[in-house]
Structure 1
């Protein structure tokens, strides 16, 4: 349902009246969550009605060429940076030794759907919508965690699960970063191939899920503050590593 609302309403706020507060309103979220059936997959969710001009849903593709890094220096300064060239070789244009990205593909592939405008359509001087989710977490007014991930629109899932694991379930950082992944972007449910989750394929299909077993491009890079100092971890699915000086 969150992905349904995202596809319907999220775009450059300089061009579109994005109903951020309305989407986070507790009454709205309670109403939406009441639609969840724990025993049966709902199939494709529709966006909620948020008292504004209705747009058509975004039409998009996901490209695999994104990176993330998390850094904390000895002075306690921190950066969480996700960077994307979007396609291999980006826009294929090089300037000053750097390839320019092709974030144009983060716009909707169609400006209209069934006669309705798409909020995230291409327009001059408009910023494309992005799923990049670099996060810095403060705890008791002090730096607690720095994290993020590459992974296209599944970045939202990966970072969301990491935050839930660290903040709600107080899991060990290595378990959060190394753990099996699953994803549903308002369509089929993907279970990470060759992980412990694959054994739930039949059970979930019986609940109505359309299941795909696939490798997932999670790349969580995270640093958290522990009682013994800083601890870092890098997702083994990618080429990253964690180092401290």
Structure 2
């Protein structure tokens, strides 16, 4: 097939509808931040000159304004990420971390920044085990809320490093739009209100958190204006002093105090365990420039994030397995059967091998080797589902020859939250950014740093709860917990054609993999690929799936031996930008999941 994407027969009519929508929502109508919060949610925009996509219209408008004023993709991405910390503080912010993937149009290289949180130096192997019983603390509520699960944040350092490597603006300039939004406020939508209500019990246990997010003791009403002057002041502190002001000095001490002595209310009965983070932990934090993962799939070069992210290897391995089969010739239910089976095999290997590569030997080359994929594909029966969980393969010794299946596998419990957020940016020069960032749980650790206006993460719950010396994701001081974040950039003939990513915890891998299959193998447009119903196969006896997926494929997949478990929750909430011939940009965000996202282009087609 061509190394450029093909479009389905429905594309012409879809394009006409999108252009019609674009006319009614020009950039001039929606390029402001701050108190003017009337920007529409635009799930698809097509045009030229740069594009952005996020899950929030205020955030996308911030990025669009940066691009229109001459900033590049990195400038826009950092400004958008700062705005996310204001309008979506329960998913991301300067108290968390993430992974930044960048395509440099000048060099043709894909490069990445690992801004994952780290465990404090005093973190004990049994930090999550009750010494009185010798048993792990209950995940809910004991480990979710409090200081014990707070990792050293990496987001501010990620912004500094990204701007240093690829940006054209200063951190001070990048923070200005978000500072304005924090000061002037944004209109509360249903999602923000509902997520506050879900967290109300946790937030009420902490004085600083309830004061910010539960004014008058209640969640902010839909349609009200929410302001965060403390966060605006924090951003100004960073603008004046750089990220050193976060990792050293008064702000750093405030973070440490909040972790070691969370500001609990006098009457709470909620467990709020303290953490061990110190000022030295913050001062010694460093982001890491890592080589991306890379696989070739049906003529496309697909780049992702290396360990401690498990997204690059697990998406890559699943695709390598699927490349052994002609998915495009199959009916959709048969293609979904192959997707579920390949995912199970890749998730088995994820559980066996993935952790922080600076602490454990992760056989990345083996996991992404086509010969290893051929060997694993031997276990994929096109007619019958394998018994789950399947066993891991040997990614350190393989020859591609089919052999007897290994013993029954083990599928460990995964506590990675389905929160997080994602953004995509492309500029007029062809630079591309895919950035996934998080504070883990919806609401993170629940701790707002007093007087600073931001929540701290609870990322350390992404470690295996019980310590096992053979577990690659075991707890260790200074280590980064395994993540499923999967920011992905796709090249054809050395040039970018697609960037995509999603939140969703361990389901991120599924969302990205399924979107790539939809776009490359099944002939969907990128708009159709992001809207299509999803399943999240993860080597379990039952596969979690959206109800629309069950309605579409349930009967047929039952015939293969699959058991689907419907969920009322959305699986993933993706953003993507496709770069077509002549530089035509198709920016897409979720049309309905989590209320829908917002995708914008600098110059809409037809204008």
TM-score, normalized by the shorter chain, greater than 0.5: yes
Answer yes or no: is the 8 Å Cα contact 1:57–1:118 preserved in 2.
no
Corresponding position: 1:178 with 2:531: yes
Corresponding residue number in structure 2 for 1:205: 558
Q: How does 1:37-186 map to 2 (within 5 A)?
A: 37-43=381-387, 44-51=389-396, 58-95=412-449, 96-112=452-468, 117-186=470-539
In 2: Cα distance, 1:227 partner to 1:27 partner: 34
CA shift, 1:108, in A, is 1.0
Aligned residues: 238
Corresponding position: 1:242 with 2:599: yes
In 2: Cα distance, 1:141 partner to 1:13 partner: 28
Residues 207 and 29 of structure 1, relative CA distance in 2, 3 Å threshold: same
Residues 139 and 204 of structure 1, relative CA distance in 2, 3 Å threshold: closer
Which deviates more from structure 2 when the two are superposed, residues 103-112 or residues 197-206? 197-206
SS in 2 for 1:198: helix
Residues 211 and 170 of structure 1, relative CA distance in 2, 3 Å threshold: closer
CA shift, 1:166, in A, is 2.8
CA shift, 1:106, in A, is 1.2
In 1: Cα distance, 2:378 partner to 2:414 partner: 28
CA shift, 1:185, in A, is 0.3
SS in 1 for 2:457: coil
Q: Which runs of 5+ in 1 are unaligned?
A: none
Aligned counterpart for 2:586 among listed residues 223, 231, 240: 231
In 1: Cα distance, 2:444 partner to 2:392 partner: 32
CA shift, 1:232, in A, is 0.6
Q: How does 1:212-227 map to 2 (within 5 A)?
A: 212-215=565-568, 216-227=570-581
Which deviates more from structure 2 when the two are superposed, residues 76-85 or residues 206-215? 206-215
Residues 82 and 197 of structure 1, relative CA distance in 2, 3 Å threshold: same
**For each residue in 1:167-203, what CA deviation from the matched residue of structure 2 results, as whole angstroms up to 9, or x when unmatched?**
344531111111111221001123320x254243233
In 1: Cα distance, 2:559 partner to 2:498 partner: 38
Q: Which has the larger radius of gyration?
A: 2
The structure whose residues are more often helix, as a share, is: 2
Which deviates more from structure 2 when the two are superposed, residues 100-109 or residues 68-77? 68-77
Q: Which runs of 5+ in 2 are unaligned?
A: 1-344, 398-409, 603-607
Residues 243 and 126 of structure 1, relative CA distance in 2, 3 Å threshold: same
CA shift, 1:58, in A, is 4.7
Q: How does 1:27-42 map to 2 (within 5 A)?
A: 27-42=371-386
Root-mean-square deviation (Å): 2.1
SS in 2 for 1:138: strand
Answer yes or no: is the 8 Å Cα contact 1:8–1:58 preserved in 2.
no
SS in 2 for 1:93: coil
Does 1 or 2 have the higher relative contact order (CA < 8 Å, sep 6+)? 2
Residues 162 and 18 of structure 1, relative CA distance in 2, 3 Å threshold: same
CA shift, 1:51, in A, is 4.5
Answer yes or no: is the 8 Å Cα contact 1:82–1:148 preserved in 2.
yes
TM-score, normalised relative to structure 1: 0.88
In 2: Cα distance, 1:46 partner to 1:205 partner: 22
